Structure 1
Amino acid sequence: MIRFLLSVCSVFALAMPSHAAVDIKEVTSESGLTAWLVEDHSIPFVALEIRFRGGASLDAPGKRGAINLMTGLLEEGAGDMDARAFARSTEALATSLGFDVSDDSLSVSARFLTENRAESIALLKAALLEPLFEEEAIERVREQVLSNIRSEAKDPNDIAGRAFDEIVFGDHPYATSLNGTEESVAALTRDDLLAAHRAVLARDRIYIGAVGDITPEELASVMDELLSALPETGAPMPPMAEVTIPGGVTVVPFQTPQAVALFGQKGITLEDPDYFTAILLNQVLGGGSFESRLMEEVREKRGLTYGVYSYLVPKDLAATYLGSVSSANDRIAEAIEVIRAEWAKAASEGVTKAELDDAKTYMTGAYPLRFDGNGPIAQIMVGMQMSGLPIDYIPTRNERVEAVSLEDVKRVAADLLDPEGLHFVVVGQPVGLETTPGN
């Protein structure tokens, strides 16, 4: 049965139409839930994606890590099934259920055959509404989380990320790891997990996408069966984060032959009309390809690193513009100097027409590759809903990219890029670098 499911997934990925042909319908259930659906009956298979806004940012004060631990327990037994029985049931049905959490959302991914839809939805309903949270399972998953926390405490990249978030976000939930600390996770009780469950899984923050062999009427029925019994409201959303990034350097001493640096400044929100322009600007500056300016100047010309990247991070409650680089301890200072210089150059001069054309070719050419199966399409649709994008966004997206002019990029570069406000957190034993006073 499982081999059959994998075969179905592969065929479905190949059979799925290109992004330009994706026909999204809005479906509303009797109880008022809304979903976006791409209906395709060529394969007897459905991908269902559900997302709850808020995620780990809804942790109660003093209970950091509760929502992450709770999410890890959603498939560890539900209803009248313990963890082993639940796993056997999903395997027998060739059903895939996945749960994940980020700072901004809790995601539920279900993949099932049409013939097993009712049984698969019943399993998922039990996981969402009747998780057991048995002590044995709690302790097992707790130890997994604690192991991750201990591992991250020894990873220079994770250390840099934590230090940077503390500087930027202050007392906002974004300032701390959603995993929590060893102390906070060790202290969590079953009651804390039940409270975390109520805080996140509520009807007032649901976004739904479905792709495959299901009609609008069938999907409406599934939504009500699965989700109508959830609490109407959950915990209040946190406030917007006040992004405070002072320019300068923070050094975190750490025994390692190669220093790691995370750098960043204030970013740009998804809702900003210049967001596409900023994406194109970043593709030229440090978007990850070997043709980016940072890669050319820091790696190719000077051999200071194997890789240097920059990326926009538009979270729900804050927007930052980040980057990362690693280099030998005696060369990281030079790498930082080059990065800041390239930041300043782009801010004052913008980009060339050839660079912009290449960035547009990459962005428009890479976009269809995201639509490589029913699961990814369902995820994209949910992301569109959460970002407030229109239902006809997919066929018009590349037109928006092509409409960006050279003058637009120059204007946004001047407004967005802040070389003096760029802050570097360096983890290692960097030569010639010290923490800037005040940081």
Structure 2
Amino acid sequence: MNILPESARVRRPAHRREHLDNGLTILIIEDQRLPAISLTLLLPAGGATDPPGQAGTASLVAGLLNKGSRRRDADSLAVAIDDMGASYSARTGRDSLVVSLAGLSEDFMDLIALLGEITLEPAFPADEFHLLRQRRLHALTRAMDQAATVADWTFSHGLYGEHPYGPPLSGTAASMTNLAETAPEAWHRRLFVPAGSCLAIAGAVPAEQALKAAADIFDSWQGTSPPPVSHPDPVPAARRILLVDRPDSPQAQIRWGHLGISRRDPRHDAAELVNDVLGGGGFSSRLMQTIRSEKGLTYGIHSGFSARLHAGPFQISTFTPTASVGEVLRDIDDLVGAFREGGPTAMELDDARRRLVGGYPLQFETATQVAGQLLEMELYGLPEDTLESYQDRILAVDLGQAADLAHDLLHPESALAVVVGDLSAMGSAPADWGTTETVDMGLLFSARTGSC
């Protein structure tokens, strides 16, 4: 029986949770250990909400928020941030857009006012739009020289097709080129609303002061959430392999996987545990032990479930000398197939439990880390005891349950493989892979496959 020492147990993080009348959730994590504060505004709308043919819009919105407000231009906003020695970031995920400001707690009132100005009053200047769009187009062109990026994008498009999880978050050359100047403002007006959004204030500011300031700045924020758009998960396809030719490349990038689970799936944490044995646990994982340590076919191989609002991918990523592609694909097939049928051993499962349970407290060392954990709960609507019960849930997974989960969640019969490398040096794909298709890298950016 696995017993967790009290000293290693993660308790429910101390925090205060309030709601403004407009639907905005406020999380306050007071921590007086350091004179610092972080503000994080999470919006439950990310790349998956980009309109059809406009992949990259949400990412462009994130990039433009600090490029001018109704009161100040981009340079003035940058000076305001620099004068406080603060840090600013805005990033887009598949399911969310997150804006963060961090600085000294003595500057809290100025920081939260600045966050409100940047997020609620963006001007989306035309010159900044065109400049950022041009930079994105250059970045997309450069990305095509990165085999790993091409492999990831090809895998995502091959797995999801026209589903919103298919396009790169940054968009494609086609979607960026055709994007109207008014698109970011339209996206912001439609989706940047308080209902469902969450503001986390973490650090050395009294809770009452933090709540009052949040209400003063954000209570006037209005807007109604648009009706949710249904996006059924793609129907699993038969086994197939997509090949992307990169002449003279000595290495080949390989992606292997299929649809996984959503973050709300009650099996999520146990799935992480099982995957830790297969390919998530570093050098001790089966994939690393066989394909790297025993055979020397790669320097690294990793697997993981990317859990999202809807079913994310289960993906194995690696690279190998081009001539070894067929052998690596066969080894992945064999290892995943054997693991699906037999599950982990008792020793493997026990080691994985120790890694996950023992490392869990490290995710709560700072108030900002606690805020991140709480924001994930808000985004995905997870149960209130999600954080403090995690270790017990991991320890409760027995050998039979782990084996059942491996069988239920791994599907080599419908796997998609992607190989990016010199096809002339690769030889033939394994005979049992079914459909084999060669993909033209240039077409990844065409109007027809603009959602890649």
With normalisation by structure 2, the TM-score equals: 0.88
One-letter identity of the residue aligned with 1:246:
A
CA distance in 2, matches of 1:419, 1:193: 40
CA distance in 1, matches of 2:308, 2:97: 14
SS at 2:314 equivalent: strand
Query: What is the match of residue 166 of structure 1?
Result: 157
Q: CA, structure 1 residues 272+397, in 2 after alignment: closer, same or farther (shift >3 Å)?
A: same
TM superposition shift of 1:65: 2.0
After superposition, residues 359-378 of structure 1 pair within 5 angstroms as 359-378=352-371
Query: What is the match of residue 279 of structure 2?
Result: 286
SS at 2:282 equivalent: coil
Query: What is the match of residue 249 of structure 1?
Result: 241
CA distance in 2, matches of 1:424, 1:32: 43
Query: What is the match of residue 340 of structure 1?
Result: 333
Count of residue pairs brought into register by the alignment: 423
Q: CA, structure 1 residues 178+374, in 2 after alignment: closer, same or farther (shift >3 Å)?
A: same
TM superposition shift of 1:438: 7.0
Deviation string, structure 1 residues 44-67 (Cα, Å, up to 9, x no partner): 322222211121222223322222
Pick one of 89, 97, 100 that aligns with 1:109.
100
Query: What is the match of residue 4 of structure 1?
Result: none
Which has the higher mean CA deviation after the structures are superposed, 401-410 or 29-38? 29-38
1:350 aligns with 2:343: yes
One-letter identity of the residue aligned with 2:129:
I
Query: What is the match of residue 381 of structure 1?
Result: 374
Which has the higher mean CA deviation after the structures are superposed, 148-157 or 397-406? 148-157
Query: What is the match of residue 205 of structure 2?
Result: 214
Which has the higher mean CA deviation after the structures are superposed, 35-44 or 121-130? 35-44
Contact 1:50/1:382 (8 A) holds in 2:
no
Pick one of 319, 324, 327 that aligns with 2:317.
324
CA distance in 2, matches of 1:131, 1:179: 20
The runs of 5 or more residues in structure 2 that have no matched partner are 1-7, 438-452
The runs of 5 or more residues in structure 1 that have no matched partner are 1-16
1:63 aligns with 2:54: yes
One-letter identity of the residue aligned with 1:250:
L
Deviation string, structure 1 residues 126-147 (Cα, Å, up to 9, x no partner): 1112212223322322222112
Q: CA, structure 1 residues 236+150, in 2 after alignment: closer, same or farther (shift >3 Å)?
A: farther
Query: What is the match of residue 425 of structure 1?
Result: 418
CA distance in 2, matches of 1:205, 1:21: 22
Q: CA, structure 1 residues 231+351, in 2 after alignment: closer, same or farther (shift >3 Å)?
A: same
Deviation string, structure 1 residues 13-50 (Cα, Å, up to 9, x no partner): xxxx9953731332233544322322223433222222
1:24 aligns with 2:20: no
Query: What is the match of residue 447 of structure 2?
Result: none
CA distance in 2, matches of 1:307, 1:182: 31
Deviation string, structure 1 residues 347-404 (Cα, Å, up to 9, x no partner): 1111111100100010011111222323222111101222222334333211111111
One-letter identity of the residue aligned with 2:106:
E
Q: CA, structure 1 residues 117+203, in 2 after alignment: closer, same or farther (shift >3 Å)?
A: same
Query: What is the match of residue 437 of structure 1?
Result: 435
CA distance in 2, matches of 1:157, 1:379: 28
After superposition, residues 216-231 of structure 1 pair within 5 angstroms as 216-231=207-222
CA distance in 2, matches of 1:337, 1:294: 12
- What do you get for the CA RMSD once the two structures are aligned? 2.2
One-letter identity of the residue aligned with 1:344:
G
Which has the higher mean CA deviation after the structures are superposed, 287-296 or 311-320? 311-320
CA distance in 2, matches of 1:404, 1:78: 51
Pick one of 363, 383, 388 that aligns with 1:390.
383
CA distance in 2, matches of 1:159, 1:283: 26
1:189 aligns with 2:197: no
CA distance in 2, matches of 1:420, 1:361: 31
CA distance in 2, matches of 1:294, 1:379: 30
Q: CA, structure 1 residues 318+272, in 2 after alignment: closer, same or farther (shift >3 Å)?
A: closer
Pick one of 260, 263, 266 that aligns with 2:253.
260
TM superposition shift of 1:236: 4.1
CA distance in 2, matches of 1:161, 1:121: 37
Q: CA, structure 1 residues 225+60, in 2 after alignment: closer, same or farther (shift >3 Å)?
A: farther
Contact 2:37/2:203 (8 A) holds in 1:
yes
With normalisation by structure 1, the TM-score equals: 0.90
TM superposition shift of 1:237: 3.7
After superposition, residues 130-169 of structure 1 pair within 5 angstroms as 130-169=121-160
Which has the higher mean CA deviation after the structures are superposed, 351-360 or 366-375? 366-375
Contact 1:28/1:220 (8 A) holds in 2:
no
SS at 1:128 equivalent: helix
Query: What is the match of residue 190 of structure 2?
Result: 199
CA distance in 1, matches of 2:232, 2:152: 17
1:404 aligns with 2:389: no
Deviation string, structure 1 residues 94-146 (Cα, Å, up to 9, x no partner): 33222111121100112133322222122111111221222332232222211
CA distance in 1, matches of 2:286, 2:372: 32
Query: What is the match of residue 89 of structure 2?
Result: 98
One-letter identity of the residue aligned with 1:82:
D
Q: CA, structure 1 residues 237+157, in 2 after alignment: closer, same or farther (shift >3 Å)?
A: farther
Contact 2:37/2:205 (8 A) holds in 1:
yes
Deviation string, structure 1 residues 171-219 (Cα, Å, up to 9, x no partner): 2121111222223213333311210211331112302322222334333
CA distance in 1, matches of 2:238, 2:207: 51
CA distance in 2, matches of 1:290, 1:358: 12
Q: CA, structure 1 residues 122+273, in 2 after alignment: closer, same or farther (shift >3 Å)?
A: closer
CA distance in 1, matches of 2:60, 2:288: 38
